[in-house]
Amino acid sequence: MDCCFSGAIAQGLTVKDDGTVNVQQQLGGKGRAILTSSTSTQYSFEQEGSELSIYTRYLVEGIEKGAADKDGDGCISVDELHEYASSKVQEAAPAMTPKFYPVEKGYKIILAKSPKDDPKVTYRKEVESRAKQAQGKFSVFARRHLESLWQDWGLSSQEAKAIEEEVLQPYREYERKRNEYEQTLIEAVKQEYPFNETTQQELKDYQQYLGLRDEDIASIAQRVLEPKQAEYELTKRQSSSVPQSKPSSAIQTQPFEFEFVTLTLVQKRSGPFGLLGESTFSEINRSRGRAEFFTEDLGHGVLLEMVAIPGGQFLMGSPENELERLETESPQHTVTIQPFYMGKYAVTQEQWLVVIGKNPSHFQGAKRPVEQVSWNDAVEFCQRLMQKTGKDYRLPSEAEWEYAARARTTTPFHFGQTITTDLANYRGTDQTYEGKVYPGNYGHDSKGEYRQQTTEVGKFPPNAFGLYAW
């Protein structure tokens, strides 16, 4: 076993021995093989709190527990052992890629015998199978099923729990590393952003040290860095003297600051010993933003605030794996947007009344958004607004609207991967319609409240451009 890939099997080299061991006579087989914990260009990681490396630990576990006997024939071959150890390493440290090099192919090298038909081995394989399917997370139903199995197979609750702990350990180790990376990244951006070249390299080294791939930290980087990047770019634009940074140099704007939020999904185990599985809840993170705006006086003490939206490019549409997406959101494509202004809030009833002269809304309230209006009504509102102010008002294009709503984010919602009724007004409770139940939650997140009416504009936090939802 070449633990750190010293080059013992480099191209053109062969494996030799001193001839004192008769492999066929002593081990009952013929042939030799080399196992390495990683490739020649990768790090090999230690197991925290253990004297053994990650790879060695699972080699030992595969033989000791009989878990490496993949075909259940009562024998553990070297290729079975490598397959078992490699799969466990990938769960705990995805950046490691253990390798198996048979020096002489065509021979099955038996390393050890395993207890055939042992209920502990059988239960372990069942737990491993379910853990692999659900990425180390068991639903309530899976828990109940496993409980029935270990009871039927004559295992005690302590034996079953010990097996589960061993099987789930690499998954928990992986999540621990991701959480450690995320917390470290959050601390880092508080001290410095954007990162200089030295810090970027140190961050890459730290990622390598944890054994995480780029795809393992992509969602973390998105949650932590995108809000900071948006905040940084907004601040940079305000201090820039480049005239193109504003939609129109003829309009006098003034800065305003605001607080926007992002959601982080947090998982927590519930019930005694965590037997009821994991529950997911949202954690709200707050950041400061800055933008430019101007004000229109519509008369009668009613104001209209317009926010400067910087130009840029974005990926319009949604990825095919996004939850509850529509086919009309495909294909994703890059769109370039020129700078423009957009209302800080949805058009209110008092604004509509001053411009149009009537208020058709069902949920009455001066500061509530106007509703019960058509697209044609909205076009007329813009035309009258042009006559009243002398400025060129129009409805945003679909691309402009999505660009402004996303505010440089790529998640399903501008504040993250999920949604909560603390940040938007929608039905957060289940609804049954024509015999079908429509859940009040998005994905695995928790449900919320159902207000059954509109709310005043500005009730919920804005996005990173300073635009408020309602």
- Per-chain mean pLDDT for the chain: 82
Give the pLDDT mean for 442-465. 91
**Structure-model confidence comparison of residues 460 and 16, the more confident one:** 460
Residue 421 carries which side chain, given as an amino acid letter?
A: T
Residue 444 carries which side chain, given as an amino acid letter?
A: H
For 220-244, how does the pLDDT look when each residue is reduced to its tens digit (9 = 90+)? 888 888 877 877 776 565 444 333 3
Give the pLDDT mean for 355-373. 96
Same domain for 295 and 256:
yes
For 110-168, how does the pLDDT look when each residue is reduced to its tens digit (9 = 90+)? 777 777 678 888 898 889 888 888 888 888 898 899 999 999 989 999 999 999 998 89
For 296-343, how does the pLDDT look when each residue is reduced to its tens digit (9 = 90+)? 999 999 999 999 999 999 999 998 888 888 888 888 899 999 999 999
Whether the pLDDT of residue 53 is over 70: the answer is: yes
The answer as to whether 235 is a domain residue is: yes
Report percent pLDDT > 70 for the chain.
81
For 381-420, how does the pLDDT look when each residue is reduced to its tens digit (9 = 90+)? 999 999 999 999 999 999 999 999 999 999 999 988 888 8
Q: Which of 270, 305, 302, 349 is nearest to 468 (CA)?
A: 305
The answer as to whether 461 is a domain residue is: no
Total number of domains in the chain:
3
The two structure tokens encoding residue 469: 């939802």
Spatial contact of 184 and 204, defined as CB atoms under 8 Å apart: no
Spatial contact of 467 and 307, defined as CB atoms under 8 Å apart: yes
Question: Where a domain ends, among 77, 97, 115?
Answer: 115
Question: Which pLDDT does position 173 carry in this prediction?
Answer: 87
Q: For 240-275, b where at least 16 C-beta lie within 10 A, e where not — what string? A: eeeeebbbeeeeebeeeebebbbbbbeeeeeeeeeb
The answer as to whether 446 is a domain residue is: no
Same domain for 248 and 154:
no
**Structure-model confidence comparison of residues 127 and 245, the more confident one:** 127
Same domain for 157 and 19:
no
Question: Where a domain ends, among 163, 185, 212?
Answer: 212
Spatial contact of 470 and 425, defined as CB atoms under 8 Å apart: yes
Q: What is the 3-state secondary structure (H, E, C) of 256-325?
A: EEEEEEEEEEEEEECCHHHCCCEEEEEEEEEEEEEEEEEEEEEECCEEEEEEEECCEEEEECCCCCCCCC
The answer as to whether 408 is a domain residue is: yes
Same domain for 121 and 100:
no
Same domain for 111 and 122:
no
Whether the pLDDT of residue 5 is over 50: the answer is: no
Same domain for 70 and 167:
no
The answer as to whether 126 is a domain residue is: yes
Whether the pLDDT of residue 73 is over 70: the answer is: yes
Find the helix or strand (DSSP H, E) in which 159 lies.
helix 157-191
Report percent pLDDT > 90 for the chain.
36
Spatial contact of 37 and 89, defined as CB atoms under 8 Å apart: yes
**What domain range includes position 357?**
227-438
The answer as to whether 468 is a domain residue is: no
Same domain for 190 and 96:
no
Q: Which of 65, 70, 79 is nearest to 167 (CA)?
A: 65
For 266-298, how does the pLDDT look when each residue is reduced to its tens digit (9 = 90+)? 666 655 655 555 666 667 888 999 999 999 999
Whether the pLDDT of residue 208 is over 80: the answer is: yes
Question: Where a domain ends, among 63, 80, 115?
Answer: 115
**Residue 111 to residues 81, 133, 178, 271, 385, Cα–Cα distance (Å):** 9, 29, 35, 41, 83
**Structure-model confidence comparison of residues 451 and 225, the more confident one:** 451
DSSP 86-148: HHHHHHH-TT---EEEESSTT---EEEE--TT-HHHHHHHHHHHHHHHTTT---HHHHHHHHH
List of residues 6+ apart from 186 with CB closer than 8 A: 224
Same domain for 358 and 261:
yes
Question: Which pLDDT does position 49 carry in this prediction?
Answer: 56
Same domain for 318 and 199:
no
Band the pLDDT of 75: cuts 50, 70, 90: confident
Same domain for 369 and 313:
yes
The answer as to whether 470 is a domain residue is: no
Question: Which pLDDT does position 241 carry in this prediction?
Answer: 37
Same domain for 99 and 180:
no
Q: Which of 390, 400, 222 is nearest to 309 (CA)?
A: 400
Same domain for 397 and 295:
yes
Whether the pLDDT of residue 248 is over 80: the answer is: no
The answer as to whether 99 is a domain residue is: yes
